[in-house]
Structure 1
Amino acid sequence: MTWKLYLLECNNGAYYAGITNDLDARFAAHLAGKGARYTRANPPIKILASKPYPDRSSASVAEAQLKKLPRNKKLNFFESDQ
């Protein structure tokens, strides 16, 4: 099963990062207010980027790396080989 790291843009202009094994269903959950607490308060507008990983563990490691980056470098993360 492939896992994906994803980056959303929220209605307040902020980015939200997460991992999932079904991006369409997870985005729908965020839109419906059933996703993360942050996206219930700040609904997402769109998916900015996603990147596949072979397992949940590697996706979680990548998510932690992404969240440590400054905002202006987050989109570039999806273009790298990390």
Structure 2
Amino acid sequence: MTRPSQSSANDTESVPVVSKPWFVYLVRAANGALYCGISDDPVKRFAKHQSGKGARFFLSSPAVALVYTEACRDKSEALRQERLIKKLRKSAKECLVASWDLAT
């Protein structure tokens, strides 16, 4: 009787692990404020913000535009980048928005 072959540790090393890309994004509210968040689908997430769901931030002033996205390697990197962006002054965030406008 023969046993089915079992995978060796070397078999898994040859298969690259591809993680789903995540994004950090900025959304402009009607009052001009910028909201920073992360998502694996920023366009879909923006639609949620526009519908009034997804973040209490938009209860007082609705989401009007997705103004910046930045692709990240994985969720962990997106979270780190989000923390860095949230620490920036509004003028620095506006520079990110301006640079993204030029690139698109």
Q: How does the TM-score come out when normalised to structure 2?
A: 0.70
Q: Does 1:39 align with 2:81?
A: no
Report how far residue 77 of structure 1 moved: 4.4
Gaps of 5+ in 2: 1-19, 100-104
Paired position in structure 2 for 1:27 = 46
Instruction: Count how many residue pairs are aligned between Structure 1 and Structure 2.
Output: 79
Take 1:60 and 1:37, find their aligned partners in 2: how far apart are those partners? 19
Take 2:50 and 2:96, find their aligned partners in 1: how far apart are those partners? 24
User: What CA deviation, in whole Å up to 9, does each residue of 1:25-53 have, x standing for no partner?
Assistant: 10110011111010233211101110000
Percentage of matched positions with identical amino acids = 35
CA RMSD of aligned residues (A): 1.4
Within the candidate set 32, 43, 65, 1:13 is matched to 32
Greater C-alpha Rg: 2
Paired position in structure 2 for 1:52 = 71
Q: How does the TM-score come out when normalised to structure 1?
A: 0.88
Q: Does 1:67 align with 2:86?
A: yes
SS in 2 for 1:51: strand
Take 2:54 and 2:46, find their aligned partners in 1: how far apart are those partners? 8
Bigger shift: residues 36-45 or 26-35? 36-45
TM superposition outliers: structure 1 runs of 4+ over 3 Å = 75-79
Gaps of 5+ in 1: none
Bigger RCO (CA 8 Å, 6+ sep): 1
